[in-house]
Structure 1
Amino acid sequence: MTTSTSTFDIAGWRGALLTALLALAFGFLGAALWSLTGLADNRTRAYLLDNPSILQEVAEALAAEDARERLASVSDELFTPFPGAVIGNPEGSKVLVEFTDYNCPYCAASLEDVTRLVAEDPELKVVMREWPIFDGSEDSARMALAAGMQGKYREFHEALFRMGDTSPSGVEAAARAVGLDMDQARIDAASEAVGLELVKNLTFAQALGFSGTPAFVAGDTTIGGAVGYEKLKEALDDVET
């Protein structure tokens, strides 16, 4: 559907956006005082529109505050892993949460970054949240959690990404390759505990506003996408231990 410029007031829309940002940034009372003092005249609007970085900074500050509020809503439970679903030091003082899917190529690309972070920091604990959002991913997510219950989450996680086959036979091949007790793994993968974990992870992801994988949480910072080693390291360095 094409919007006609004759019926859409571009200038009015930009002015409304500016007013909304000012109201949110300074509070409605502050915005009102701003207006009464005469500062919110056309010159001020022109200045801000000519310097869009100011609006960008306001938007980023609001997004950061929203992320903190979303994190507060899920509290410490987010940082408590499903049994065994951890990479790195299970008792580490610094925590990174990762939402992952075995059919996600960007998750596969991020594996190297997470592996490097773990190798460099003996205090890093990576809490893995299986979030099977692609078709055909649930079997692999369930088997990963079953592997965690046998103390072999990381081995399975790396093997499945390396082998790249998330079909039922491929998932079992990866499980056998890392030495899982297959009878027990099948029972655990189909268990209520694993099913509840997948529902919980979906709930966490929705509460945090994530739209895809991979997604990360470091302290009070949420990160969506395969952002690379440097950005993850920077977020972790800002976390107080």
Structure 2
Amino acid sequence: MEPALRNTLLTALLALVFGFLGAATWSYSGLADNRTRAFLLEKPEILKEVAEALARQESQERLSSLGDDLYTPFPGAVIGNPEGSKVLVEFTDYNCPYCQASLADVQQLVDEDPDLKVVMREWPIFEGSEGAARMALAAGLQGKYREFHEKIFELGPTSPATVETAARAIGLDMEQARADAASEAVSVELVRNLTFAQSLGFSGTPAFIAVDTPLAGAVGYDRLKEALDNAPS
């Protein structure tokens, strides 16, 4: 472990165990290193818990800095109840196998909870994904986001041909869809989603915000449901 990180964790641990004032006194007395090290050798799991607590605190600070914009969807880019009060944000890519694996988990959550709104954030980070992401947002503008979302995953790896096939299969107005997919509004949305993901420290898809809990990766139905159920009302 890097010395700086070790010192930060030791200080945080002392603050949690002895109280902030006691931790400061303990540290300045020169006793922190030896006694805390001995304490951690007896209970090493505490250091992991402190690291996780610090990571959660940092995530909460990042979320707070983004405000309501993160939870405000691009028009139509919603699965579930558009007026739902319980919100799950998903960052997705159509060439990501883990996003495809998470599709059933999200659909089950939506089917079980009529108050759940899933805000979809198109984040095309895999090669060849941008065209599908653009068409998905164009489908949202025609009220058919979910239909396109499911169809393009069903057709497999994206290409101009599969994007066109998916769009036609769900009955999009193709002339309007092509214009919307190439629009400045869609380009701005993709940049916004990239900025959101980077600000939250996400490095890949899928990634979720379950009300106020960031979750990276295909964490599965149980973890998503737990985070949604335990979120403050």
Query: Normalised by the shorter chain, which TM-score bucket?
Result: over 0.9
Report if aligned partners of 1:165, 1:171 keep a CA contact under 8 Å in 2: no
Report if aligned partners of 1:103, 1:166 keep a CA contact under 8 Å in 2: yes
Report if aligned partners of 2:79, 2:118 keep a CA contact under 8 Å in 1: yes
Tell me which residue corresponds to 2:173. 181
- Matched residues in 2 for 1:33 and 1:59: separation? 22
Q: Secondary structure at the match of 2:140?
A: helix
- Matched residues in 2 for 1:21 and 1:51: separation? 14
The one of 128, 136, 146 equivalent to 2:128 is 136
Alpha-carbon distance change, 14 to 92 in structure 1, aligned in 2, over 3 angstroms: closer
Whether 1:23 and 2:15 are equivalent positions in the alignment is no
Q: Which runs of 4+ in 1 moved over 3 A?
A: 13-18, 27-32, 36-39
Report the TM-score when normalising by structure 2: 0.92
Tell me which residue corresponds to 2:208. 216
Q: Deviations over 1:147-203 (max 9, x none)?
A: 000000000000000111410011000000000011100000000000000000000
Alpha-carbon distance change, 86 to 41 in structure 1, aligned in 2, over 3 angstroms: closer
Report if aligned partners of 2:207, 2:217 keep a CA contact under 8 Å in 1: yes
- Matched residues in 2 for 1:58 and 1:136: separation? 40
Report if aligned partners of 1:87, 1:127 keep a CA contact under 8 Å in 2: yes
Alpha-carbon distance change, 185 to 61 in structure 1, aligned in 2, over 3 angstroms: same
Tell me which residue corresponds to 1:93. 85
Deviation, structure 1 residue 38: 6.1
Question: Which sections of structure 2, spanning at least 5 residues, go unmatched?
Answer: none
Report the TM-score when normalising by structure 1: 0.89
Q: CA RMSD in A?
A: 1.9
Report if aligned partners of 2:81, 2:117 keep a CA contact under 8 Å in 1: yes
Report if aligned partners of 2:148, 2:167 keep a CA contact under 8 Å in 1: yes
The structure with more radius of gyration: 1
Question: Which sections of structure 1, spanning at least 5 residues, go unmatched?
Answer: 1-12
Bigger shift: residues 40-49 or 189-198:
40-49
Report if aligned partners of 1:67, 1:220 keep a CA contact under 8 Å in 2: no
Deviation, structure 1 residue 233: 0.1
Whether 1:171 and 2:163 are equivalent positions in the alignment is yes
Alignment length (residue pairs) = 229
